[in-house]
Structure 1
């Protein structure tokens, strides 16, 4: 999704701790925290990064005779927060001297960035090409015109401002040099914003770290981007609830069983405001600069890597049901459920059985 901050996607995992809801029942998909835990072994940590609350919960890890579960888990969670802090400072378009801020303020000069930033920009361009621009990392100048993150100053941008800035959103203006790990923006008015993909990228990096630390079962929730590490300690799948649009965070359109997967949703119902009985939401159409207008309420992607789900959920929403589903069906290793404004669920051919 396109927004001026990272806190732009929401999905709820039914059995995690902290900001992910812990429910004692959900119709025939009842689940409790004791479902997940072995004895009292659980360690959770919350933090505030990327303009949103994040939560990481560890349920099982490889034993170490020198340390207790809690001692090891707490140290690992410290590392997760350090990773989050680093990327928060590196990838934000708003934080001065971040890699993205430096690129956007380079005045068309070559900007050397970290390998991680370069990797994410390369991935963003890949998805921009794959989706024919439906996913666009160069909408920064348009995103800055809208405000979906607070109740103040929620106004429709001036048409002239949108028409002026939309001319500077061609992602081909972003030129990458892999040898130097550098970026040049050929149009001084083109601005990068990675809010529609950054949390997925960061979630993957945190999962890599957890696996390196021999964590066997965990849930990473970066403001709603859910990434599962392994399965529950008893070997069964986690149950993940996909929110029913406009019905509140405790009402689900469906529940899927999954292990070691990413689940990311893009929907119109989390960041929006109303003017003259019309909803203006934060998923912007790269062709117009205005919120996408189609029959969709949300798109949820199941994938191995969260960065893929992040980019595809936005791209597919912008493309709409037919073209979006076509993209999913020809993209290996990903599945999707589209929810239309009549609340019907449309699933890809390999989407797991839902309840």
Structure 2
């Protein structure tokens, strides 16, 4: 089977160049560059590979154990498919009135619904019935019949969710409704890990949740991290440009992440809550750069669904958020703040602004 170029991407995923850091002493010995100590741990959770790298940290073992516990706790609350999770139980309670959840789950649902309102439903956490129907990324992946999609669409709509902030309850109006926090949950986990390592005094860390990257602090020595932006049409390691950042999060949404091939057509996993089909926006990917990964997660999905014109306007209205849009025809569009830290290095791509 011949795959399209974007199917080979890990894409606009991000390759991280971690450079050696020198020491600042006047002695002759100090003229030799001192390499920082790097401790790395990988976990398979949230249906993805998570890698955490801590720099010059003597307590890394206990930190890695605690980080795993943080992620397990979030999964136990917000997984749509784990039958013991809060979210699974909430979805099973759909149509039966309010259901009380933990503070964490309530906060994430509340933020997801806020983004749904701000995007007029282009980002919508009630998309769960459509996600289950298509099953993209699972062994049950298939192209549903139009009649099935029409029925699922009747269960989609953020206005069908009622929140009680005082009681921390969530009510899904119709039986069969499903909240899916996949478009925001990994970002929340990245923020939780970043907050923890900062609290523990870790000055430099890289947190990578399958494309959701958080660069905590600066590199050892105070320099910016160098982040390469992957070429969506090439294999890993081929970059179209690079960014210089510190203490920021970078999150990408794109057609490369999960897809279904059927009768020679390819269907990506970012579904349009309005049509029930994969979103059509002429984009290969959207990368968001901002301060909090929860927001970046929701913003990347929202901007992808909105497309270049509306997506740029949407991101420009957000404080401290920037975006890189890469289209199917090798056009690169960015928000106004990107040029201060992004350099295009591949002349096969055309780079311009949409103002």
TM-score by length of 1: 0.86
Q: Of residues 223, 226, 233 in structure 1, which corresponds to 2:210? A: 223
Give the secondary structure class of the aligned counterpart of 2:286.
strand
Please tell me whether Structure 1 or Structure 2 has the larger radius of gyration of its CA atoms. 2
Q: Note if contact 1:133-1:286 (Cα within 8 Å) is conserved in structure 2.
A: yes
List aligned pairs for 1:71-110, cutoff 5 A: 72-107=59-94, 108-110=96-98
Q: Of residues 155, 162, 168 in structure 2, which corresponds to 1:175? A: 162
Cα deviation for residue 13 of structure 1 reads: 3.4
* 1:130 is the counterpart of 2:130: no
Q: Distance in 2 between matches of 1:153 and 1:202?
A: 27
Cα deviation for residue 251 of structure 1 reads: 2.0
1:26 paired residue number: none
Question: Please, what is the CA RMSD of the aligned residues?
Answer: 1.8
Structure 2: stretches of 5+ with no match in the other structure: 1-9, 23-32, 345-355
Q: Distance in 2 between matches of 1:112 and 1:248?
A: 46
Cα deviation for residue 155 of structure 1 reads: 2.1
Q: Distance in 2 between matches of 1:223 and 1:176?
A: 31
Cα deviation for residue 9 of structure 1 reads: 8.6
Q: How many pairs does the alignment contain?
A: 322
Q: Of residues 265, 272, 275 in structure 2, which corresponds to 1:285? A: 272
List aligned pairs for 1:35-46, cutoff 5 A: 39=35, 41-46=37-42
* 1:50 is the counterpart of 2:46: yes
* 1:115 is the counterpart of 2:86: no
TM-score by length of 2: 0.86
Cα deviation for residue 253 of structure 1 reads: 2.6
What whole-Å deviation, never above 9, does each CA across 1:279-322 have from its counterpart, x for those lacking one?
21011111011011121111000000001110010001101110
* 1:208 is the counterpart of 2:210: no
Give the secondary structure class of the aligned counterpart of 1:14.
strand
Cα deviation for residue 158 of structure 1 reads: 1.5
Q: Note if contact 2:50-2:209 (Cα within 8 Å) is conserved in structure 1.
A: yes
Q: Distance in 2 between matches of 1:114 and 1:253?
A: 42
2:135 paired residue number: 147
Q: Distance in 2 between matches of 1:46 and 1:293?
A: 34
Structure 1: stretches of 5+ with no match in the other structure: 1-7, 16-30, 62-68
Q: Distance in 2 between matches of 1:281 and 1:75?
A: 39
